[in-house]
Structure 1
Amino acid sequence: MFPATDDPPLVSPGQQYVKTNLFNKVVTHLHPSHTTTVNNLHVTHQHYFPHTDSCINECSEIHTMCGVPVNPCCPFSPFGF
């Protein structure tokens, strides 16, 4: 009888197990609504253009000294008076 020999171990592929836990949950969905009332005011702008007239009369004058007046009673002045 011969002594026993040890062979390397034979490893089978691992098995995977899945354990599923189920949790029930209630989700409330709210669907709010809103109504907006719009009151629309229509404004009509009426434009008037009253007009008045005026008149300005302008006058300009120039005094020109064309010589020296002779006045023997008074001494000579720069303006001749």
Structure 2
Amino acid sequence: MSRLDDFFFGPGRGNQGGDETVVFPTRQIVNTRTNEQTIRKIHPTHITNVNKNIKRIENYYPVTESTHNEYIVKEYDCGSDINNPCCRPVKRCKW
């Protein structure tokens, strides 16, 4: 009998004593470490304001003239936080 047997099963394994040794399976413990990474993606916005001026000249005899100015502005409100933008179109009255 080896010393390892003595450790697990006790000395005098063949004795008629009432001692019994039970060995359970090895308990496995898994430690998980999670590393969190933040990736900032910045999507810049460029707003192009188009000022469309249309002149319509109608010729009559006698000559009359009219001018039509149309202004189109596209405006967006993206808030003040560049890390958490929430862009929405800003409704404006048509001129």
Compute the TM-score of the two structures, normalised by the length of structure 1: 0.30
Which structure is richer in relative contact order (CA contacts within 8 A, separation 6 or more)? 2
Question: Who wins on radius of gyration, i.e. which is larger?
Answer: 1
Compute the TM-score of the two structures, normalised by the length of structure 2: 0.27
Q: More helix per residue: 1 or 2?
A: 2
Q: More strand per residue: 1 or 2?
A: 2
